[in-house]
């Protein structure tokens, strides 16, 4: 039996934002241009801004989401080509960055 474990890795948050699909209940959004309603199981690139997706995350895979194991498994099975990142990590980093840029 296999389990999922998160791996910590240094990353460029701008690079992630430029190539990230954020999965919601059914469809996904493009992190770069905020386009909504993207069919994440198929989309290789954003239909609006044209970025190529390399990363994927889900709003429903947080610490408090009881079904997050099933959510992660479903998304990873549909998109083994994308790197699954943690949504809470992503929000925390982009939130800190926005605060820094706001106070500059
Ligand atoms: Zn886009």
Query: How many whole angstroms separate alpha carbon 26 and alpha carbon 88?
Result: 19
Distance 45 CA to ligand 1 centre (A): 8
Average of per-residue pLDDT across 73-84: 96
pTM of the model: 0.91
Distance 19 CA to ligand 1 centre (A): 9
DSSP E strand boundaries for 1-104: 20-23, 28-30, 55-58, 83-84
Cβ proximity of 82 and 56 under 8 Å:
yes
Query: How many whole angstroms separate alpha carbon 1 and alpha carbon 100?
Result: 43
Query: How many whole angstroms separate alpha carbon 20 and alpha carbon 32?
Result: 7
Residues near ion ligand 1 (CB < 5 Å) are 30, 32-33, 35, 46, 48-49
Phi, then psi, of 88 in degrees rounded to 5: -65, -40
pLDDT (tens digit per residue) in 22-68? 999 999 999 999 999 999 999 999 999 999 999 999 999 988 888 89
Cβ proximity of 23 and 58 under 8 Å:
yes
């Amino acid at each position: 039996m296999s389990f999922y474990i998160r791996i910590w890795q240094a990353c460029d948050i701008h690079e992630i934002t430029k190539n990230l699909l954020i999965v919601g209940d059914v469809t996904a959004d493009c992190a770069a241009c905020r386009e909504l309603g993207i069919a994440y199981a198929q989309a290789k690139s954003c239909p609006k801004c044209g970025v190529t997706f390399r990363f994927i995350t889900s709003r429903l895979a947080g610490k408090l989401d009881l079904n997050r194991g099933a959510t992660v498994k479903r998304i990873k099975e549909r998109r083994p080509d994308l790197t699954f990142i943690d949504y809470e990590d992503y929000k925390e980093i982009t939130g800190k960055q926005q605060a820094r840029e706001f106070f500059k």
